[in-house]
Structure 1
């Protein structure tokens, strides 16, 4: 369905794709953080864990964006086009 020129289903899928990518990067960051710590690089490990926490925040914001998309689409006062 398109609302005000936005295909909301496709838009949501695109947000999901970004989330999947960030999820993968978070996993790599987590693994590298542990490898660094295991090798005695405590500062590097700590920085990578900080980056991991930042990626968690990004994922939370993407969830918020999906919720906002639903709310904005529902409240949009423009044209709605549905495939029949």
Structure 2
């Protein structure tokens, strides 16, 4: 579906791709946090757990962006595109 010249389906997929990437980075951060803590590097482990929490917040914001995209697309003006 297009809204005001934006293909909302593709836009949503792009947000999902970003989320998938952040999900992977979160998993790596979690692993590294435990590796650091297990190696006696408590401060590094704690910092990495903080990063993990921030990445969780990023993912929540991306979910909000997807919901906002749906809402905005529904309210978009009736723009039609014609091939010439």
Of structures 1 and 2, the one with the larger relative CO (CA 8 A, separation 6+) is 1
* Structure 2 equivalent of residue 35 of structure 1: 35
Stretches of structure 1 lacking an aligned partner (at least 5 in a row):
none
Q: Deviations over 1:17-73 (max 9, x none)?
A: 000000000000000000000000000000000000000000000000000000000
- Measured after TM superposition, the shift of residue 13 of structure 1 is 0.3
- Measured after TM superposition, the shift of residue 77 of structure 1 is 1.4
CA separation in 2, counterparts of 1:15 and 1:56?
15
Q: Matches of residues 1-84 of structure 1 in structure 2 within 5 Å?
A: 1-81=1-81
Tell me the TM-score normalised to structure 1 length.
0.93
Stretches of structure 2 lacking an aligned partner (at least 5 in a row):
none
Tell me the TM-score normalised to structure 2 length.
0.93
Please give the root-mean-square deviation of Cα atoms over the aligned residues, in Å: 0.9
CA separation in 2, counterparts of 1:60 and 1:80?
32
- Aligned pair count reads 81
